[in-house]
Amino acid sequence: MKIDGTPYRSIWVDETDGWSVRIIDQTKLPWNVDLVRLTTLEEMAHAIKAMLVRGAPLIGASAAYGVALAMRHDAADAALAQALEVLGATRPTAINLRWALRRMGAALQSVEPAKREAAAYAEAAKICDEDVAVNEAIGRNGLALIEEKAKSGKRVNILTHCNAGWIATVDWGTALAPIYMAHDAGIDVHVWVEETRPRNQGASLTAWELGKHGVKHTVIADNAGGHYMQHGEVDLVIVGTDRVTRQGDVCNKIGTYLKALAAHDNNVPFWVALPSSTIDWTIRDGVAEIPIEERAASEVTTMTGRAMDGSIATVRIVPTSSPAANPAFDVTPARLVTGLITERGLCEATESALTGMFSDLA
């Protein structure tokens, strides 16, 4: 998508030297757009660990390029094994990271060392292009929903939670892909961006990327979403997801469940956008079976932003003696989900619909 008129991906090989890897340092957003240049395995491992890059698909792509950087330096078997190990240890729970490293290992192990550098760059590029293609297909399939709403001739208001945008993937994003397509097609679309406490990915990342591409949007407190639905100000909810179960239960950023309830109560369609790789075919009941990560209380008790003097500062917003709890995700039962937007098409959030559309995977 675009940043102030210029098209970008969230990761790419430097145009000038043809081998170093460029990323946008997402820890600096929305205040600074730092196009960091990475030249070694160690630099890429740090970028993943310190969350300069985040979002499951982008982490996978970054790890792939981390292997390529390592092979440029030393393409021996031991160096390849070492690269896979170092990168695999950066984010212990990221599924896409492990998947991308397995794929890179499989692609390179049978290749002679002299040809590994070129093969690694080619495979990493392929992983990126495939991610873009999947997200583009999600966007195209979701676009139909927005076009349907646009027939009224009025502005289409879409509410989203957290960040499932292009900077969480290589390009397009998942939940935001249909929105970018609608915008680019000239549809009058406006996004209610929930700030998404406690980590504020909505206020800091979704608002930033929509603004930079030129999509109309308004940031609101997470508390306000239900009120706007009650008053007919939301035509559609589209969110991303971290894991979908076999029966269509949706695990996503904490607070998603509350918006699904409000959408259901006000007859607002509630759609979830995802690549099929996000479906966990091994479980059914998301509320009972998905363990919810408990993150640091400091994410609730403090807030980081830009101080009046331009510096980035952190302030405490909870009394020092008060404890805080911080579950990072919740589960929305399938009964509250209107449907899933996948790369193969729109799909009901039911086991029969999912196993029907993805019979080769289920």
Stretches 73-81, 145-153, 213-221, 347-355: which one binds a second copy (CB under 8 A)?
A: 213-221
How many residues lie near a second copy (CB under 8 A)? 63
Q: Does 319 bind a second copy (CB under 8 A)?
A: yes
The answer to whether the beta carbons of residues 61 and 22 sit under 8 Å apart is: no
Q: Are strands 21-24 and 11-13 parallel, antiparallel or unpaired?
A: antiparallel
Report phi then psi at 76, rounded to 5.
Answer: -70, 160
Distance CA 130, CA 26 (A): 22
Q: Does 313 bind a second copy (CB under 8 A)?
A: yes
Four-CA torsion 141, 146, 147, 152, nearest 10 degrees: 160
Catalytic site includes residue 360? no
Give SS3 for 270. strand
Distance CA 45, CA 188 (A): 41
Q: Which of 20, 21, 10 is nearest to 56 (CA)?
A: 10
Token digits of residue 150: 């646009």
Residue selected from 123, 131, 171, 330 as contacting a second copy according to rule CB under 8 A: 330
Q: Does 127 bind a second copy (CB under 8 A)?
A: no
Angle at 92 between CA 305 and CA 296, to 5 degrees: 40
Q: Does 32 bind a second copy (CB under 8 A)?
A: no
Handedness of CA 305, 307, 312, 315 (dihedral sign): negative
- Touching a second copy, residues 274-293 (CB under 8 A): 287, 292
Measured from the CB atom, is 66 or 198 closer to a second copy? 198
Q: Does 79 bind a second copy (CB under 8 A)?
A: no
* CA dist list (Å): 228 to 73, 85, 146, 149, 165: 55, 48, 18, 17, 22
- Touching a second copy, residues 37-76 (CB under 8 A): none
Among residues 222, 242, 280, 330, the one annotated as catalytic is 242
Q: Does 261 bind a second copy (CB under 8 A)?
A: yes
Measured from the CB atom, is 186 or 319 closer to a second copy? 319
Measured from the CB atom, is 279 or 300 closer to a second copy? 300
Token digits of residue 132: 């873009």
Q: Does 204 bind a second copy (CB under 8 A)?
A: yes
**Could you say which DSSP state residue 109 is in?**
H
Distance CA 220, CA 242 (A): 23
Distance CA 196, CA 68 (A): 35
We find the least distance from the C-beta atom of residue 37 to a second copy, in angstroms, to be 24
Q: Does 304 bind a second copy (CB under 8 A)?
A: yes
Q: Does 325 bind a second copy (CB under 8 A)?
A: yes
* CA dist list (Å): 327 to 93, 103, 198, 337, 342: 16, 32, 10, 21, 27
Measured from the CB atom, is 282 or 321 closer to a second copy? 321
Q: Does 296 bind a second copy (CB under 8 A)?
A: no
Residue selected from 88, 198, 248, 275 as contacting a second copy according to rule CB under 8 A: 198
- Touching a second copy, residues 219-248 (CB under 8 A): 219-228, 230-231
Q: Does 78 bind a second copy (CB under 8 A)?
A: no
Stretches 43-51, 85-93, 258-266, 350-358: which one binds a second copy (CB under 8 A)?
A: 258-266
Q: Does 193 bind a second copy (CB under 8 A)?
A: yes
Q: Does 201 bind a second copy (CB under 8 A)?
A: no
Residues that bind a second copy in the complex, under the rule CB under 8 A: 30, 193, 195-198, 200, 203-204, 207-208, 210-211, 217-228, 230-231, 253-255, 257-259, 261-262, 265, 287, 292, 300-308, 313-319, 321-327, 330-331
- Residues assigned a catalytic role: 242
